[in-house]
């Protein structure tokens, strides 16, 4: 089952459909409680659920802009300094797990935020290398998987650093 919050960042049409289904379910519950016939019917709900399932079948790639939007909302207190420390940490993890492409996905995500959110040149060269790499498709697939994991995590801000 797909995490609904994932849609908020990856597919606005599916996200809006999800919200409509949620509202229809609430209205139907009220209809049953108050025996009101003028609220939405079960057919409307069934149609929206079918439409939603169809929308979920398409593959969505996380763009740099989506990653930055998620980052701003999830880490509002993040700073350039904290992101540079995070980049160092992720590069060390990728180096120590050189055969694990998901670690490269973490480096990519941090570089995207450095480049787009903070306009920091530290993210530029790694991003350019990723985009020219023979493993570009595999890295972007790993980024998609990693972002799906990241959006489901709960983060806490402790002593100036975010932790999951």
pLDDT, tens only, 65-83: 989 989 998 999 999 999 9
For residue 31, what pLDDT is reported? Answer: 74
CA distance 18 to 3: 11
What is the rounded average pLDDT of the residues 140-146?
A: 91
Q: Would you say residue 118 has pLDDT above 80?
A: yes
Nearest CA to 115 among 76, 155, 84? 84
Strands 161-163 and 156-158: antiparallel
Cα maximum dimension of the chain = 63
What is the rounded average pLDDT of the residues 22-45?
A: 72
What is the rounded average pLDDT of the residues 80-103?
A: 91
For residue 40, what pLDDT is reported? Answer: 57
Across the chain, mean pLDDT equals: 83
Band (1; pLDDT cuts 50, 70, 90): very low
For residue 4, what pLDDT is reported? Answer: 64
């Amino acid at each position: 089952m797909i995490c609904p919050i994932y849609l908020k960042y990856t597919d606005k049409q599916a996200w809006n459909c999800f919200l409509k289904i949620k509202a229809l379910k609430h209205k139907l519950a009220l209809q049953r409680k108050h025996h009101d016939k003028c609220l939405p019917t079960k057919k409307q709900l069934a149609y929206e659920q079918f439409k939603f399932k169809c929308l979920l079948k398409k593959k969505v790639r996380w763009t740099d802009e989506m990653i930055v939007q998620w980052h701003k909302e999830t880490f509002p207190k993040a700073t350039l300094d904290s992101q540079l420390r995070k980049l160092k940490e992720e590069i060390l993890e990728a180096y120590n797990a050189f055969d694990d492409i998901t670690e490269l996905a973490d480096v990519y995500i941090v570089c995207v935020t450095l480049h787009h959110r903070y306009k920091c040149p530290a993210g530029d060269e790694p991003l350019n290398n990723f985009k020219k790499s023979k493993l570009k498709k595999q890295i972007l697939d790993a980024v998609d998987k990693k972002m799906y994991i990241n959006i489901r995590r709960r983060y806490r801000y402790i002593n100036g650093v975010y932790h999951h």
